[in-house]
């Protein structure tokens, strides 16, 4: 259970993580989720493969790592969640936190829909899905476009989230992460090894790892940046919130390295698990959001005892999704508790009610029901707004805030625990955060939006930018 600590620099006393491993597991649990196992493979598939993967890795190392370290530092230094962390330094910066809360809300407007699919697939696999391999693709399409069935699963999935977050920070999240994360890693290794033994699988590895830069345009680069932020849970104050529960003596640099490393390893592992099997079965790499739900059952359908592996996979996927969505919900809940003075149960109910409405609309949009904007359904709109715009721009503002509103000295003290830990790359990190990352994100975003106009996604991205501008203008009232 959490300990109350009054820290030496007078920040408010706050619940703490029960143990170091508990924190790493929870932060890695937040990072590792549908982003790695569902989104990464299909985005890589749609974005041409190797070149996308290479650009993504470049962004993880040079932007993701630095932003995560920045978020952990801001959270622990201020002892406050997404909005409070900025507000406690300068009220005009509240909007950066509010972009994060809004991102949390909108991601939770589609994430539980996919989490519900994963949950449903445990039962579908158990109920004999693999017996008819040729029908697996059609089963998935039929399932997600059905108006009602996915809603039950989404509701069940969301309910588990609400219960975990209602129990409080270390009671629920920490315990769940500790048991379930190692299990998932193990399952993925089994699947990857299975996939690699199939004849013809080599082409999958080639697709994933040999870059063809002729496939790269502004949208691919922005997709890679968005994927890095989404997968690492960055740009929306999630890691600020988790950092705010972190003890003063923890080594932030090391924690950042471990979480970034684990997240990236799982994404690559998921790619290695998916693409060789796809190529062995001559499936389309650009299969879209159905990829894992079609490839994995198909892969295991052709193997004796495959049902067990498929079952374990979807249990693992559901659990990985849960430890992530719990952190998304926590950002919104922590905001309502800290800034709006709601009790934890009330905050959970308020956030949950909005999320269930968004999810219903998002799920229905896949069957062509409900409002569209610029010919795009709500599921895709929520995804586009957050993954392509809010997270990256949010991360940019987090860096500008840290670099320009805080002094180099206070950042150094926070990161090195008042000089107890050496961080030889401090100056490099500082330069990246203060100058390079803000400029780089701005350039990638502009390039992505411009090329987004060719594919029809531009107007929604512009909408996202306008929402951010509006929040910035309203900042003092937030």
Interface contacts to ligand PHE, rule CB under 6 A: 30-31, 33-36, 107, 230-231, 233, 236, 238, 324, 327-328
In terms of CB distance, is 328 or 444 closer to ligand PHE? 328
Distance CA 151, CA 164 (A): 20
Q: Smallest distance from the beta carbon of 107 to ligand PHE, in angstroms? A: 6
**Please, what is the minimum distance in Å from the beta carbon of residue 269 to ligand PHE?**
13
Nearer to ligand PHE, 136 or 176 (CB): 176
* Nearest distance, CB of residue 306 and ligand PHE, angstroms: 26
Residue 229 Cβ vs ligand PHE, minimum distance, rounded to whole Å: 8
Rounded to a whole number of angstroms, the minimum distance from the CB of residue 263 to ligand PHE is: 7
Q: Which residue number has the CB closest to ligand PHE?
A: 35
Q: Which is nearer to ligand PHE, 110 or 430 (CB)?
A: 110
Phi-psi group of 460: left, alpha or beta (phi > 0 → left; psi -120 to 50 → alpha; rest → beta):
alpha
- From the CB of 321, what's the least distance to ligand PHE, in Å? 7
- Of 237 and 297, the one with the shorter C-beta distance to ligand PHE is 237
- Contacts of residue 101, defined as CB under 8 A and 6 or more positions apart, other chains included, come to 82, 83, 236, 237, 331, 332, 335
CB of 327 to ligand PHE, least distance (A): 5
Closer to ligand PHE by CB, 130 or 319: give it: 319
**Closest CB to ligand PHE among 228 and 301?**
228
Of the pair 301, 315, the CB lying nearest ligand PHE is at: 315
Q: C-beta of 102: minimal distance to ligand PHE in Å?
A: 12
Among positive and negative, which fits the CA dihedral 256, 416, 19, 16?
Answer: negative
Is the Cβ of residue 298 or residue 324 nearer to ligand PHE in the bound state?
324
> Looking at beta carbons only, is 279 or 397 nearer to ligand PHE?
397
Residue 428: CB minimum distance to ligand PHE, A: 25
């Amino acid at each position: 259970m959490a300990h109350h600590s009054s820290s030496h620099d007078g920040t408010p006393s706050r619940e703490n993580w029960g143990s170091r491993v508990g924190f790493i597991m929870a932060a890695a649990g937040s990072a590792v989720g549908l982003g790695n196992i569902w989104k990464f493979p299909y985005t890589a598939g749609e974005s041409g493969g190797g070149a996308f993967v290479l650009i993504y890795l470049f962004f993880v190392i040079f932007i993701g790592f630095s932003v995560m370290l920045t978020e952990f530092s801001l959270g622990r230094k201020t002892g406050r969640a997404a909005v409070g962390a900025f507000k406690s330094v300068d009220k005009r910066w509240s909007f950066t936190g509010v972009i994060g809360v809004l991102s949390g809300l909108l991601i939770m407007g589609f994430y539980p829909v996919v989490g519900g699919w994963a949950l449903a697939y445990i039962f579908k696999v158990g109920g004999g899905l693999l017996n008819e391999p040729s029908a697996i693709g059609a089963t998935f399409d039929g399932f997600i476009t059905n108006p009602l069935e996915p809603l039950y699963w989404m509701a069940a999935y969301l309910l588990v989230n609400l219960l975990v977050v209602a129990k409080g920070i270390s009671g629920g999240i920490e315990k769940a992460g500790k048991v379930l994360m190692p299990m998932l890693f193990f399952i993925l290794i089994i699947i990857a090894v299975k996939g690699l033994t199939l004849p013809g699988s080599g082409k999958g590895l080639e697709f994933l790892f040999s870059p063809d830069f002729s496939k790269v345009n502004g949208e691919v680069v922005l997709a890679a940046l968005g994927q890095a932020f989404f997968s690492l849970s960055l740009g929306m104050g999630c890691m600020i919130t988790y950092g705010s529960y972190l003890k003063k003596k923890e080594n932030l640099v090391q924690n950042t390295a471990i979480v970034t490393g684990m997240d990236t390893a799982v994404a690559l592992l998921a790619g290695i698990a998916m693409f060789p099997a796809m190529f062995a079965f001559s499936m389309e790499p650009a299969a879209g959001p159905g990829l894992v739900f079609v490839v994995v059952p198909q892969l295991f359908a052709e193997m004796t005892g495959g049902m067990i592996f498929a079952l374990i996979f979807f249990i693992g996927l559901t659990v990985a999704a849960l430890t992530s969505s719990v952190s998304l919900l926590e950002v919104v809940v922590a905001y309502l508790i800290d800034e709006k003075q709601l009790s934890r149960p009330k905050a959970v109910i308020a956030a949950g009610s909005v999320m269930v409405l968004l999810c219903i609309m998002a799920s229905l949009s896949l069957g062509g029901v409900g409002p569209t904007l610029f010919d795009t359904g709500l599921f895709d709109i929520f995804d586009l707004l957050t993954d392509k715009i809010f997270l990256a721009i949010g991360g940019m503002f987090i860096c500008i805030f840290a670099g320009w509103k805080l002094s180099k000295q206070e950042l150094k003290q926070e990161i090195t625990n008042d000089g107890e830990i050496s961080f030889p790359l401090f100056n490099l990190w500082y330069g990246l955060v203060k100058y390079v990352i803000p400029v780089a994100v701005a350039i990638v975003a502009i390039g992505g939006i411009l090329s987004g106009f060719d594919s029809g996604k531009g107007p929604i991205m512009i909408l996202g930018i306008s929402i951010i501008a509006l929040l910035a203008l309203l900042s003092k009232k937030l």
